[in-house]
Every structure is written in C-alpha cells, then in structure tokens.
Amino acid sequence: MKIRRATAGDAPACARIVRHWLDVSGWMPEGPSEAALTQMMRDAFPQREAYVAQNDAPLGYLSLDADSDHIRGLYVGTPGRGIGKALIDRAKQGRSFLSLNSHMPNEAAHRFYTREGFVVTARDLAGADGVPELRMEWHA
C-alpha cells in the first residue's frame, strides 16, 4: 500500500468510499449524492492537506486543514486492514497535535482513534448533518 498526496482526480473514487459508508451507516442521514461528494472533494483536496492510500486504486483517504491540524475526513473502503492507521501515521508526521470531530454513534471510529492515541475533549457538539459529534485530540 502506498500513501500519497490526493489530487482532484482522486475525488470520484474517494466519493464512492464515503457514499458507501453513508449507505451502510444506519444512523446517518441520507447525505449528499456521490456526484455532490465528488465535486466537494475536487474543490477541497487542493485546498487541504489530503492523502490517499492505494494499491491499484484508492483504498481510503484522509483530509486535514493544515492551518489548524484538524482532520476533516478519514474514510476507508475496508476497515480493519491498516489503511486508516497508515493514513493517521502520515498525518502525524511532523506534527505534535491533531484534532477531529467524530459522530457520537460511530463507536468503532472512537475505538480506532483511541488506539491511535486520541482522547475525547468535548461531547455533544452540534454536527452539520444533525448527528451529535465529539471532539478528539492527539498530542505527541
């Protein structure tokens, strides 16, 4: 598996990963279409520090705001295979702090982030999609 900077050309594959996650997460609202997600990523990837994990095709991605060291998105097509860890490890390089928000019902993500050294710093934050979130932070 290779980790590289994401480009606008990665947006369609990454949007499929997110759309699939939305479809299988029973607690999430419908959310944007795959086409809308693709456009959002095409716009965001050049503005953010974003990475793609790939073999022949993208397996997952991480997008963060480099000015605040806040992770805006981390999605993998197949959880449990080390893809998310590899992306988090890349984001940690050269940093002593990272933060992220995670949907409160997403307990699997919370376990993953805890294993990666993140701690909960706030709960019941208003999420843009109407699902409450918690904030987690990592300090080196």
CB of 17 closer than 8 Å to CB of 77: yes
pLDDT of residue 125: 92
CB of 77 closer than 8 Å to CB of 110: no
Total domains in the fold of the chain: 1
Name all contacts of 62-66 with Cβ < 8 Å and 24+ positions apart: 62/87, 62/88, 62/90, 62/91, 63/6, 64/91, 64/98
The 3-state DSSP class for residue 100 equals strand
Nearest C-alpha neighbor of 83 from the set 48, 57, 101? 57
pLDDT of residue 127: 86
Say which CATH number the domain at 33 has: 3.40.630.30
Amino acid 53 reads A
125 vs 40, 96, 113, 138, CA distance in Å?
A: 23, 24, 18, 18
Instruction: Chunk the chain into consecutive blocks of 10 residues (it has 140) and report each block's average pLDDT, rounded to whole numbers.
Output: 95 96 89 95 93 94 96 94 97 98 95 98 91 97
Amino acid 36 reads A
pLDDT of residue 26: 85
pLDDT of residue 29: 87
pTM of the model: 0.93
pLDDT of residue 67: 95
Which range marks the domain in which residue 46 is found? 2-139
pLDDT of residue 128: 86
pLDDT of residue 104: 95
